[in-house]
Amino acid sequence: MGNAFGIGYSHHGEVGAATTGQFETWTPCALNSTRTRIKEASSGLFHTVYLPSNETDCVYVTGRNNEAQCLQPTTFKVEITKVMIENVCKAVATTYTTFIILSMIILIV
């Protein structure tokens, strides 16, 4: 758990860095400058989902959103955006144009 870095193609912002482009060295994610610590990251074709370790009710998304894979219905390109989740988020996974959240419902008896 800690900071996130990306390398390679990021013309749609999929690395989540302060700028877009082709990164040939490890480039820090913009979340690193916040108090957010990354537990897990998963990348699709042109988007990335970050699961924070210090927040259990959200994920952060970034990158191309032409199929609403970043859960932003009207925006083609998404800069790092916090997306609230109804349940405790345990893990994330991505595919070509989607992302999946594994959540856990907490029952208090």
Tokens at 99, concatenated: 């992302």
State pTM to two decimals. Answer: 0.84
| pLDDT at 109 exceeding the cut of 60 | no
Residues of the chain above pLDDT 70, percent: 93
Predicted pLDDT of residue 7:
87
What are the boundaries of each domain within the chain? 5-104
The answer for 33, left when phi > 0, alpha when psi is -120 to 50, beta otherwise, is alpha
- pLDDT tens sequence across 54-96: 887 888 999 988 888 888 887 788 888 888 887 778 888 888 7
Predicted pLDDT of residue 36:
86
Q: Angle at the Cα of 31 (from 25 to 32), degrees rounded to 5?
A: 65
